[in-house]
Amino acid sequence: MSEIVRSGLLQRALLEVVMLGATCGALGVWLLHVRSAYAAESLAHAMLPGLVVAALVGAPLLLGAAGGVLVAAVLIALAGRDTRVGAEVAVGVTVTTAFGLGAVLALAPDVPARLGELLFGDLLGTSTSDLVAAGALGCLVAFALAAGHRALAVAVFDPVAAPSLGVRPEQAQLALLALLAVAVVAAVQGLGNLLVLALIVAPAAAGIRLGASLRAQILLAAALGALAGVLGLVASAELDVAAGAAVALAAIALYVLAALLRPAAPRAAGGRRSPVEALGG
Amino acid sequence: MTAAIEVTDLSAGYGYGAVALSDVSFSATAGQAVAVLGPNGGGKTTLFRALLGELTATTGSIHVDGRPAYVPQTERSRLDFPVGALGVALMGAYPRTPWYRRIAGRDRALARAALERVGLGDRAGTRFGALSGGQRQRVLIARALVQDAGVLLLDEPFAGVDRTSEEAIMRILDELRAEGRVLLIATHDVEQARRWDRVLCLAGGQVAYGAPAETLTNAVLEGTYGEEIVMLDCGHRAVAIQHHSHSHAH
């Protein structure tokens, strides 16, 4: 433990993961309430080519991630215009294409062997500039969520009546996806393209289980996200396992604990839900 | 409060040239309640969306005093969302609260008073999804009261509502009329439509508009409901019975 606190490497990693955990947790509550866990996963995976290209040319990963997310968003929007296939198929096709392209690029013989780092993150490699960037992006997301809290609540709770309350539900949904893109870009350096989803979905699902009010759910999810980060890093140092993976597993463990504490009430009415939605409790 | 609504030759639709509603002309003045009668897909929702400014009119014009308040059917809202009855009523104050301000104390008092007025003062802390259908409908009306709009659009306010709630809602709607507000009440229940000052019959376009006694004739009802209607003559009054082959919950 004391070794963790003393090492500058771990101090930076700890600060980074606490910021990311809190931001992703809070944002995740909204994403689960609008049933957008699939979009979160897709966006995170689809930016792999951007990351690989950044690694190839030696540009900052943050830049690659931002470019990758942008291209993926445009492709998803274009594919979604084909009404014969529907949005989910459009997302699925875009994401697998992008992920496949990223893997091909990354596994080419003259590319530095960094695929593992891109997929699973490198928390312990957090530099001071990474920390500043993640902090700024995290603050941006937190501020936007606080400022848009009431508009988002109306848009999610009652999309039909929202326009009469001065809120455009489609705009609120788009804003959430934009914030998701920002959060994923901020988190990808530390947690990687595959594991970032754990910090977005698991603490949020636990917060939704445990919190009675929306505010409580968001605060709980932020706290649990930060806690998962700390627990994961400590476990990774003590047990000598990969840091990003340990953080993801800690987040899932916290969700399982919350689910045991508060089993989901039987659903009163309505249709079937996907397993991802069921996570939300 | 005096409010008015005037619609002239309105047509509106959902893009790709599809017109869901055409040739609608009517006006209502302060204190009038208008039943908007028609089958599913007849254009009731389209009319409301046009009045809310969500759909632009392809032809014709709309004049509404102020932004209307909309009271949706309760199953259209998310019942698993973590918000209490008071929280929902407070949403009525959102349009006049800038994002950087807390909700004003005056608005909080207003929301509590609105819940009292619909008879749910003791349920302020109850989660919206845990209330009965009728209670939820009353909470949404309380939200419209907090909004303090001159024009209220109510979508099937009596559908799936228990007796107590129905009486409470009737009482509130009468009070709102007395205050000089304009009410538009979508319904597919002809008996319900007879209770109000005016009836607007819609079946893709306007079939008729006027006082219920003159408007709700067999010919108009047939024009409104087409082959879906079964006419029963009970004491010279037509009663429309609709086939419930498709759900209206979409």
Determine which of A31, A32, A164 to mutate to test the interface with B (most B C-beta atoms within 10 Å). A164
Residues from chain A contacting residue B100 (CB–CB below 8 Å): 147
pLDDT grade for B204, boundaries at 50, 70 and 90: confident
**Residue B152, both tokens:** 């209220």
CATH architecture assigned to A2-263+275-279: Orthogonal Bundle (1.10)
Select from A238, A234, A165, A250 the least CA-distant residue to A199: A250
**pLDDT score, position A34:** 87
Q: Scanning the structure block, which residue is given the tokens 């009663």?
A: B239
A143 touches chain B (CB under 8 A): no
For residues B82 and B130, what is the distance between their CA atoms, to the nearest angstrom?
A: 10
**pLDDT score, position B96:** 93
Q: Collapse the DSSP code of B157 into the 3-class scheme (helix H, G, I; strand E, B; otherwise coil) and give the result.
A: coil
Among B81, B91, B153, whose Cβ lies nearest the Cβ of A165? Answer: B91
The whole-chain average pLDDT of chain B stands at 85
Report whether CATH 3.90.650.10 matches the domain B28-43+65-200+207-242: no
For residues B20 and B2, what is the distance between their CA atoms, to the nearest angstrom?
A: 31
**pLDDT score, position A115:** 75
CB B53 within 8 A of CB B78: no
Chain B residue with minimum CA distance to A157: B78
pLDDT per residue over B170-188, tens digit each? 999 999 999 999 999 998 8
Q: Is the pLDDT of residue B241 over 60?
A: no
Q: Scanning the structure block, which residue is given the tokens 């959102």?
A: B94
Contacts 24+ apart (CB under 8 A), B47-52: B47/B10, B47/B12, B47/B21, B47/B202, B48/B153, B48/B155, B48/B184, B48/B186, B49/B12, B50/B10, B50/B12, B50/B21, B51/B5, B51/B7, B51/B151, B51/B153, B51/B184, B52/A163, B52/A164, B52/B153
Among B72, B92, B149, whose Cβ lies nearest the Cβ of A160? Answer: B72
**pLDDT score, position A185:** 85
pLDDT grade for B93, boundaries at 50, 70 and 90: very high
Select from A111, A81, A109, A108 the least CA-distant residue to A94: A81
| Percent with pLDDT over 90 in chain B | 48
Burial class (CB in 10 A: 0-12, 13-18, 19+), A174: exposed
Inter-chain touch B70–A163, beta carbons under 8 Å:
yes
Q: Scanning the structure block, which residue is given the tokens 């698993």?
A: B80
Residues in chain A, pLDDT under 70: 1-6, 83, 110-113, 265-281
**pLDDT score, position A111:** 67
Provide ipTM, 2 decimals. Answer: 0.84
Residues from chain B contacting residue A271 (CB–CB below 8 Å): none
pLDDT per residue over B15-59, tens digit each? 666 677 888 999 999 999 999 998 887 888 889 999 988 888 888
Enter the pTM of the model. 0.85
Q: Is the pLDDT of residue B63 over 80?
A: yes
A151 touches chain B (CB under 8 A): yes
Task: Return the sign of the alpha-carbon dihedral for residues A41, A43, A49, A50.
Answer: negative
Determine which of B70, B90, B96 to mutate to test the interface with A (most A C-beta atoms within 10 Å). B70
**Residue A200, both tokens:** 């977005």
- Domain extent listing, chain B: 28-43+65-200+207-242
Q: Is the pLDDT of residue B3 over 80?
A: no
For residues A240 and A246, what is the distance between their CA atoms, to the nearest angstrom?
A: 10
Q: Is the pLDDT of residue B197 over 80?
A: yes
Q: Is the pLDDT of residue B7 over 60?
A: yes
Residues in chain B, total: 250
For residues B127 and A200, what is the distance between their CA atoms, to the nearest angstrom?
A: 26
CB A177 within 8 A of CB A229: no
* Chain A residues 39-98 within an 8 A CB cutoff of chain B: none
Among A149, A161, A217, whose Cβ lies nearest the Cβ of B70? Answer: A161
Among A157, A163, A164, whose Cβ lies nearest the Cβ of B81? Answer: A157
